[in-house]
Structure 1
């Protein structure tokens, strides 16, 4: 009896080894007209997990009959079962479908005549319509940049919710674990610093260098020196002209002193 159990156990281990050996890396490509970076691809059968790159491509281990779960904040989730054809080819394409918030048909209560003056008088419009008036959650501030939108998609929503039970925001969690959210925050911060220094350069360069002769390449180096200051972003957000000019003049003085020290060494 003991020998039979050992034989069955050994056979089971061998079977698991053979099955595991059948799993191989498959290359995939996500298809969409919009951003396809940072989409989560989970092999629910294995389990294996990966994230798509900027081009929407990914590599994941799978075998025949494995189920891939594809999830992105602004795309409809979908499952793909690995067929023998896909496995043999070693490649698959997945078309993503964007989530769309559809509104009921809007019926206009007043007839517009085409006369601007008459139509304005007959119009009931008083305030600008926003997402929340329609019961749709949405961003109503200034338009986000591409990198800000990527960060918003990666880090949107609470970590969990409490209803009939506790749920976890897996999309946010996976982005945090993979380091994608941290990476995007650094990219957005760098974008903000670059945009701000370009604005300061455009508005105050003539004032700062009015009595200082500095070559173009050194001016560029000086502005990068300003940009790296710890309080630079806070200064930009305050948008105070006098404070900005004082900051730039102090940094210029420090920059020139550093250059002189380096030359004397």
Structure 2
């Protein structure tokens, strides 16, 4: 038996097929991705779906999640990067995670002359030119007890753990008895001895040394920003912390006369930068 089809049946089937395909392509998904760059921080990058105007920001590791569908335009924006846009397609949707490489935004400035000292931009030359003087401190002014300073928590713990001598002794004269007796006595500092044997004294000394290094590193960074050290000495910004640690670990670092002497500190860092880059 023949079945007679309505003349519009083929058109209806084609319409349903196209509609189904279009519906599948426009399905909204949770687009997951990661922003990456070899040198700069990738957190707090603004990710915007320009088609829906929905947005999010990347976490500390550069990961993000945003609703999107095929055909949507996604924009990535941050001050330190060149703005980048991508269009979501079927290949994007089928990936478990997309990787977005951002390019550092280098701002070129015109040459300017800084007055009134006609600075060159070279810190070593400029410091000599404007005659930078050491920072005036209580120690440099030779004020009474200026060398004592404020004792830190770690130093106070070390002082309590290591106070006094291990052993004290002497001669004692006993005059209570009928015949005076001369004897020897010896007192052992049990508290100090136990702290030494248990290793607590050594631990506290290491902690005090670490606190001093952190303080000195902070003072250096306050004088010279890490970006300046990186540019002047040709050391990658990501290695500056390692460079400062290298300087602090040198035996001759403690020989610097005063942390307030800017020129002396800069020249020391400059000399050590050559050794650091040869490692």
TM-score bracket, normalised by the shorter chain, equals 0.3 to 0.5
Q: TM-score, normalised by structure 1?
A: 0.40
When the two structures are superposed, what TM-score results if normalisation uses the length of structure 2? 0.38
Q: Which has the higher helix share?
A: 1
